[in-house]
Amino acid sequence: MDLADLLARRRMTRSFDGSAVDPAWLEERCADALWAPTAGNSAGVRMHVVSHEHVAAYFDHATDAAWRASAPRAPGLSRAGAVVLVTCQPERYLERYGADDKRASGLDQRDAWPLPYWHADAAMATMALLLLLEEARLAATIWGSFRYAEAILRWADVDDGELFASVLVGRGDGADTPSRSLSREVPSRRARVTRVRPAD
Protein backbone atom coordinates (compact mmCIF):
# COMPACT_ATOMS: atom_id res chain seq x y z
CA MET A 1 0.00 0.00 0.00
CA ASP A 2 1.19 3.51 -0.80
CA LEU A 3 2.35 5.34 2.34
CA ALA A 4 0.45 8.51 1.43
CA ASP A 5 -2.75 6.46 1.14
CA LEU A 6 -2.03 4.83 4.48
CA LEU A 7 -1.58 8.22 6.13
CA ALA A 8 -4.79 9.55 4.59
CA ARG A 9 -6.79 6.50 5.70
CA ARG A 10 -5.56 6.42 9.30
CA ARG A 11 -8.02 7.68 11.90
CA MET A 12 -8.30 7.45 15.66
CA THR A 13 -10.94 4.85 16.56
CA ARG A 14 -12.67 5.09 19.91
CA SER A 15 -15.14 2.21 19.76
CA PHE A 16 -13.94 -1.38 19.49
CA ASP A 17 -15.75 -4.68 19.02
CA GLY A 18 -14.18 -6.49 21.98
CA SER A 19 -12.19 -9.07 20.01
CA ALA A 20 -8.69 -9.85 21.23
CA VAL A 21 -5.52 -8.83 19.42
CA ASP A 22 -2.82 -11.49 19.47
CA PRO A 23 -0.23 -10.15 21.95
CA ALA A 24 2.70 -11.99 20.33
CA TRP A 25 1.81 -10.45 16.94
CA LEU A 26 1.47 -7.02 18.56
CA GLU A 27 4.84 -7.34 20.28
CA GLU A 28 6.44 -7.87 16.87
CA ARG A 29 4.72 -4.79 15.45
CA CYS A 30 5.99 -2.79 18.44
CA ALA A 31 9.52 -3.99 17.72
CA ASP A 32 9.07 -2.94 14.08
CA ALA A 33 7.85 0.49 15.21
CA LEU A 34 11.07 1.00 17.14
CA TRP A 35 12.91 1.36 13.83
CA ALA A 36 11.72 4.98 14.14
CA PRO A 37 14.49 7.57 14.57
CA THR A 38 16.12 7.86 17.97
CA ALA A 39 18.31 10.86 18.82
CA GLY A 40 21.95 9.92 19.21
CA ASN A 41 20.91 6.26 19.01
CA SER A 42 19.86 6.69 22.63
CA ALA A 43 17.24 3.91 22.26
CA GLY A 44 15.23 5.41 25.09
CA VAL A 45 11.71 4.33 24.05
CA ARG A 46 10.03 1.15 25.32
CA MET A 47 6.69 -0.47 24.46
CA HIS A 48 4.75 -2.76 26.80
CA VAL A 49 1.82 -4.86 25.56
CA VAL A 50 -1.26 -5.27 27.74
CA SER A 51 -3.13 -8.32 26.47
CA HIS A 52 -6.90 -8.49 26.08
CA GLU A 53 -7.64 -10.20 29.40
CA HIS A 54 -6.04 -7.27 31.27
CA VAL A 55 -7.68 -4.39 29.38
CA ALA A 56 -10.50 -3.99 31.93
CA ALA A 57 -7.97 -3.75 34.75
CA TYR A 58 -5.98 -1.24 32.73
CA PHE A 59 -9.05 1.00 32.49
CA ASP A 60 -9.63 0.64 36.23
CA HIS A 61 -6.26 2.33 36.74
CA ALA A 62 -6.26 4.64 33.71
CA THR A 63 -9.63 6.23 34.54
CA ASP A 64 -11.89 6.81 37.51
CA ALA A 65 -15.28 5.31 38.32
CA ALA A 66 -17.16 8.54 37.66
CA TRP A 67 -15.73 8.81 34.14
CA ARG A 68 -16.43 5.16 33.35
CA ALA A 69 -20.05 5.61 34.48
CA SER A 70 -20.74 8.83 32.58
CA ALA A 71 -18.51 9.15 29.51
CA PRO A 72 -20.35 8.16 26.31
CA ARG A 73 -17.17 6.74 24.83
CA ALA A 74 -16.20 4.65 27.86
CA PRO A 75 -17.91 1.40 26.75
CA GLY A 76 -16.43 1.47 23.25
CA LEU A 77 -12.92 2.30 24.44
CA SER A 78 -13.02 -0.39 27.11
CA ARG A 79 -13.63 -3.01 24.41
CA ALA A 80 -10.11 -2.56 23.00
CA GLY A 81 -8.41 -5.80 22.08
CA ALA A 82 -5.07 -4.79 23.61
CA VAL A 83 -3.18 -1.77 24.88
CA VAL A 84 0.41 -0.68 24.27
CA LEU A 85 2.09 1.44 26.92
CA VAL A 86 4.74 3.67 25.37
CA THR A 87 7.40 4.80 27.83
CA CYS A 88 10.51 6.92 27.46
CA GLN A 89 13.72 7.12 29.46
CA PRO A 90 15.08 10.67 29.76
CA GLU A 91 18.20 9.50 31.57
CA ARG A 92 19.36 7.59 28.49
CA TYR A 93 19.39 10.85 26.52
CA LEU A 94 21.21 12.75 29.28
CA GLU A 95 23.82 10.00 29.44
CA ARG A 96 24.19 9.85 25.64
CA TYR A 97 24.53 13.62 25.25
CA GLY A 98 27.03 13.72 28.09
CA ALA A 99 29.34 11.34 26.20
CA ASP A 100 32.57 12.61 24.67
CA ASP A 101 31.20 12.99 21.14
CA LYS A 102 28.07 14.84 22.30
CA ARG A 103 29.25 16.78 25.36
CA ALA A 104 29.66 20.05 23.44
CA SER A 105 25.88 20.10 22.94
CA GLY A 106 25.43 21.00 26.62
CA LEU A 107 22.45 18.63 26.80
CA ASP A 108 23.58 16.41 29.65
CA GLN A 109 21.07 18.06 32.02
CA ARG A 110 17.32 17.64 31.66
CA ASP A 111 16.44 21.34 31.83
CA ALA A 112 18.93 22.13 29.05
CA TRP A 113 16.73 20.54 26.39
CA PRO A 114 14.51 23.14 24.66
CA LEU A 115 12.64 20.19 23.15
CA PRO A 116 12.91 16.89 25.06
CA TYR A 117 13.95 14.43 22.36
CA TRP A 118 12.73 11.51 24.47
CA HIS A 119 9.25 12.83 23.75
CA ALA A 120 10.05 13.34 20.07
CA ASP A 121 11.37 9.78 19.78
CA ALA A 122 8.35 8.36 21.60
CA ALA A 123 6.01 10.29 19.29
CA MET A 124 7.78 9.01 16.16
CA ALA A 125 7.70 5.41 17.39
CA THR A 126 4.02 5.77 18.29
CA MET A 127 3.21 7.11 14.82
CA ALA A 128 5.12 4.22 13.26
CA LEU A 129 3.04 1.81 15.34
CA LEU A 130 -0.21 3.49 14.28
CA LEU A 131 0.75 3.10 10.62
CA LEU A 132 1.72 -0.55 11.06
CA LEU A 133 -1.64 -1.19 12.70
CA GLU A 134 -3.46 0.61 9.90
CA GLU A 135 -1.55 -1.45 7.35
CA ALA A 136 -2.82 -4.57 9.14
CA ARG A 137 -6.40 -3.21 9.01
CA LEU A 138 -6.58 -2.80 12.77
CA ALA A 139 -7.99 0.24 14.53
CA ALA A 140 -6.22 2.26 17.22
CA THR A 141 -6.29 5.44 19.21
CA ILE A 142 -3.85 7.28 21.45
CA TRP A 143 -4.94 7.55 25.06
CA GLY A 144 -3.22 10.34 26.97
CA SER A 145 -2.88 9.32 30.60
CA PHE A 146 -2.40 12.80 31.97
CA ARG A 147 -3.70 12.17 35.49
CA TYR A 148 -3.07 8.47 35.98
CA ALA A 149 0.36 7.79 34.48
CA GLU A 150 1.97 6.74 37.74
CA ALA A 151 -0.98 4.53 38.69
CA ILE A 152 -0.83 2.78 35.31
CA LEU A 153 2.89 2.12 35.57
CA ARG A 154 2.55 0.78 39.13
CA TRP A 155 -0.28 -1.52 38.06
CA ALA A 156 1.69 -2.76 35.03
CA ASP A 157 4.85 -3.18 37.13
CA VAL A 158 6.74 -1.05 34.63
CA ASP A 159 9.54 0.97 36.15
CA ASP A 160 11.72 1.69 33.12
CA GLY A 161 10.71 5.27 32.43
CA GLU A 162 7.92 7.79 32.08
CA LEU A 163 4.61 7.01 30.40
CA PHE A 164 4.35 8.91 27.12
CA ALA A 165 0.96 7.54 26.05
CA SER A 166 -1.13 4.42 25.71
CA VAL A 167 -2.22 3.08 22.32
CA LEU A 168 -5.56 1.25 22.38
CA VAL A 169 -5.68 -1.40 19.67
CA GLY A 170 -8.49 -3.51 18.27
CA ARG A 171 -11.13 -3.80 15.60
CA GLY A 172 -13.62 -1.00 15.19
CA ASP A 173 -17.28 -1.79 15.66
CA GLY A 174 -18.59 1.03 13.45
CA ALA A 175 -20.16 2.83 16.41
CA ASP A 176 -17.43 5.42 16.82
CA THR A 177 -18.67 8.96 17.40
CA PRO A 178 -16.48 11.42 15.46
CA SER A 179 -14.46 13.78 17.59
CA ARG A 180 -15.89 17.26 17.97
CA SER A 181 -12.41 18.51 17.13
CA LEU A 182 -13.05 17.50 13.51
CA SER A 183 -15.66 20.25 13.19
CA ARG A 184 -13.10 22.98 13.88
CA GLU A 185 -12.12 25.16 10.95
CA VAL A 186 -8.40 24.77 10.38
CA PRO A 187 -6.06 25.59 7.49
CA SER A 188 -5.81 22.87 4.86
CA ARG A 189 -2.84 20.54 4.93
CA ARG A 190 -1.43 22.19 1.82
CA ALA A 191 -1.83 25.64 3.35
CA ARG A 192 0.35 24.50 6.23
CA VAL A 193 3.26 23.85 3.90
CA THR A 194 5.37 26.76 2.62
CA ARG A 195 8.63 27.16 0.76
CA VAL A 196 11.34 29.05 2.58
CA ARG A 197 12.51 32.14 0.72
CA PRO A 198 15.46 33.47 2.73
CA ALA A 199 16.03 37.19 2.94
CA ASP A 200 19.07 38.43 1.03
Task: From first to last of the 200 residues of the chain, give the pLDDT tens digit.
Answer: 789 998 888 999 999 999 999 999 999 999 999 999 999 999 999 999 999 999 999 999 999 999 999 999 999 999 999 999 999 999 999 999 999 999 999 999 999 999 999 999 999 999 999 999 999 999 999 999 888 999 999 999 999 899 999 999 999 999 988 788 888 999 999 999 999 999 97
According to CATH, the superfamily of the domain at 3-173 is NADH Oxidase (3.40.109.10)
How does pLDDT run across 98-124, given as a tens digit for each residue?
Answer: 999 999 999 999 999 999 999 999 999
Residue 185 has what pLDDT?
A: 92
Query: What DSSP line would sit under 29-79, residue for residue?
Result: HHHHHTTS--GGG---EEEEEE-GGGHHHHHHHHS-HHHHHH-TTHHHHHT
Per-residue b or e along 39-54, where b marks 16 or more CB atoms closer than 10 Å to that residue's CB: bbebebbbbbbbbbee
Alpha-carbon distance 153 to 88, whole Å?
Answer: 12
Alpha-carbon distance 89 to 93, whole Å?
Answer: 7
Alpha-carbon distance 125 to 131, whole Å?
Answer: 10
Length of the chain: 200
Which of 46, 57, 66 is closest to 165 using CA atoms? 46
Residue 200 has what pLDDT?
A: 79
Query: What DSSP line would sit under 119-164, residue for residue?
Result: HHHHHHHHHHHHHHHHHTT-EEEEE--TTTHHHHHHHHT--SSEEE
Residue 183 has what pLDDT?
A: 85
Beta bridge partners of 170: 139
Alpha-carbon distance 189 to 186, whole Å?
Answer: 9
pTM of the model: 0.93
Which of 179, 139, 178, 156 is closest to 19 using CA atoms? 139
- The domain ranges of the chain are 3-173
Alpha-carbon distance 43 to 63, whole Å?
Answer: 30
